[in-house]
Structure formats: structure tokens, C-alpha cells
Amino acid sequence: MGKRLGILISGRGSNFLAIADAISAGRLDAEIAVVISNNPSAAGLEVARSKGLATSTIPSERGMKREEYDERLTEELNRHNVDLIVLAGFMRILSGKFVNRFRGRILNIHPSLLPSFPGLDVHAAALQYGVKVSGCTVHFVDEGLDSGPIIRQASVPVEGNDTEESLAARILEQEHRIYAEAIALVLSGQYKIEGRRVVPVLAKPAP
Ligand code: GRF
């Protein structure tokens, strides 16, 4: 049995779908234990249901403290015995307590070459700055914003006639490729973290 993923989404869920496809194609040895959304109308939830996956919605209620929300999230993840938490377009900041509890077991994907352009409106920021190369980053989640150790990155060219939409689409293709690869590396355990560097280590040969 593969390790159990808890996938957190807020919207479309194309990264979730790419991960599900990688599992079905045998490129990723894992199973999706649950897909959780803070947004009841996230399109990705429908896709997950249509695939017969367990889903759950935890809406952020008015006045609810971040830690309280994260407690509910924790209960749900534990109920499904999740080994690795995969943020895939999850539009909430996680509390320090939550990050600490699951340290080293939360991944995020961000549509820029970090540390450039963390946060929101990333493609607009990249175009406005005038970079000629952009891309995406899979990283461990720490207490900062898009700041944890980097597991994988992929770059794409920025073309002179790019719009936010065209750049986003070019980057998304790479996101779909590298997220499954990064998850596979983390689940294999064949890496170590030295400072900020995630360094692959080879498996010991069988005796
Ligand atoms: C992706 O661009 C991801 O990098 C960012 O949010 C977007 C989510 O897209 N964090 P999707 O819901 O996976 O299609």
C-alpha cells in the first residue's frame, strides 16, 4: 500500500488531478486518502468525487480563529491517516502550530521560481518586472510565506507577447510534471535537508 496523501485545494484542482493521474499511471506510488477544500464550490471537489475519492469541506466560518480552523483540519487529516499533506492551490495560510505539528510533511506548489515573486498575483508581478524566465517551485512549508526548503523547480521562457493567462498556462504544464516527482522523492525518504538545501541521497544497496 502506498503512503497516504491528504490533498488540500481551494479551486480548480488541476494539480490534484495531475497527481491522481500520476498515481493511476504508476508514476507515483501513493494513494489519495482525502481531498479537503475550504471552498465548498471548488471545482476540484467534484472531480475528486467523480473519481470515488473521499472528500471533505471545511469552510472558514466567520470569526473563526486560524488555530481553530487548523484544529479541524488536523482532525480530518488524522481521521484519514494522512502521511503527507499536499497543498494544491489551497488559499489559506496555515498556523505556526499546524506547520510545527506536521513539519517536513507539508508540501506546496508555487507558480514562480522562488524566492522571486512569493505571495499572490505572481504572473502579473513577473510580467511587470520583465523577467525573461519564470517557472514553478515545489517546497516544504515552513512558517513563512512560500519560504520553505525547495524540493524541485522547473523554468519556462517568458515570451514578449505573454499575458498572465498564457504565462500561467505554460507554467501550469510544468507544475503538473514536477509535483508528482517531488512527492515521489519525499515519500521515498531518499533526501536530507542541509540548511535550506534538499539533497537527494541514494538508497543503501541491499546487503
Ligand atoms: C497553481 O498555479 C498553483 O501553483 C497555485 O495555485 C494554482 C492552483 O491551480 N498555488 P489548480 O487548482 O491546481 O489548478
pLDDT tens-digit readout, 174-198: 999 999 999 999 999 999 999 999 9
- pLDDT higher than 90, residue 100: yes
Is residue 155 within 8 A of residue 170, CB to CB? The reply is no
Question: Averaged over 98-112, what is the pLDDT?
Answer: 98
Residue 114 has a pLDDT of 98
Find the catalytic residue in 80, 110, 123, 176: 110
Nearest CA owner, ligand 1 atom 10:
89
Is residue 32 within 8 A of residue 5, CB to CB? The reply is yes
Residue 60 has a pLDDT of 87
H helices of the chain, in order, are 14-24, 43-50, 66-79, 96-101, 122-129, 164-188
199 C-alpha to ligand 1 centroid (Å):
25
Question: Averaged over 73-82, what is the pLDDT?
Answer: 98
Nearest CA owner, ligand 1 atom 7:
89
Cell of 163: 499575458
Atom of ligand 1 nearest to the CA of 14: 14
Residue 207 has a pLDDT of 76
- pLDDT higher than 80, residue 41: yes
88 lines ligand 1 (CB under 6 A): yes
Query: What does DSSP assign to residue 143?
Result: S
Residue 204 has a pLDDT of 73
- pLDDT higher than 80, residue 48: yes
pTM for the model: 0.96
Cell of 100: 510545527
Q: Does residue 80 have an active-site annotation?
A: no
89 C-alpha to ligand 1 centroid (Å):
4
With H, G, I as helix, E, B as strand and everything else as coil, classify residue 75: helix
Residue 61 has a pLDDT of 86
13 lines ligand 1 (CB under 6 A): yes
The sign of the torsion formed by the CA atoms of 23, 58, 114, 98 equals negative
Show Cβ contacts of residue 133 under 8 Å, excluding neighbours closer than 6 positions. 113, 155, 156, 157, 158
Nearest to 22 by CA among 185, 192, 203: 185
194 C-alpha to ligand 1 centroid (Å):
28
